[in-house]
Amino acid sequence: MTGKKYGIVVGHDGSELSTRALDWAIEEARLRHTKLTICHFWSYPYLGYAPMVTMDFSEPAADLVRLAAVRARTTAPDLEVQSVVEPGSASRGLIDLGRDADLVVVGTHGRTGMARVLLGSVAEQVVRHAPCSILAVRPDADVKPFVHALCPIDFSDSSRHAMELAGEL
């Protein structure tokens, strides 16, 4: 790993799936002796009926509490952790941070068909558009060292980088 500004980036929304991705990210950060950046992106619902809504949108308090709980579980002397909490789309935010990261880790449900069409996928958008390596973690994935890596190549610079990373894994 090159030790870019964000090191390993992981998106976390408080779900069990994102906690599974966080577990993978923690292990990778420890193995590679690089910093871990935990990200949480938030947005408010469309306020088409704004005159009828009387909510205080000055601070995403619940999100900050969730992030504090995650940060507490990642305190260890061999782990450098930083947090990013910003408004906006999770996929867009992870893609943007990926410009200065070695690896982005995301959880994925692995949905197919209509479920994927209707629900969309942050992981799919990140995999398609992030400018760095991506580790997509499925809900049934155990946190353990890799034994095998499949690395398709086309002899481009990106392929060479992917081969080097696969070799490290």
Q: pLDDT digits over 64-97, tens only?
A: 666 666 766 777 778 898 888 888 899 999 999 9
Q: What is the pLDDT of residue 144?
A: 74
Residue 109 makes CB contacts below 8 A (sequence gap 6+) with 17, 121, 123, 138, 139
The tally of CA atoms less than 13 A away on the side-chain side of residue 67 is: 19
Q: Work out the number of other CB atoms within 10 angstroms of the CB of residue 75.
A: 8
**Can you give the pTM of this predicted structure?**
0.76
What tens digit of pLDDT does each residue of 101-123 get?
999 999 887 666 655 554 458 88
What tens digit of pLDDT does each residue of 121-151 get?
888 889 889 988 888 888 887 777 777 777 8
Identity of the amino acid at 68? A
**Residues 74, 81: contact at Cβ < 8 Å?**
yes
Q: Give the confidence band of 48 by pLDDT, cuts at 50, 70, 90.
A: low
Identity of the amino acid at 153? I
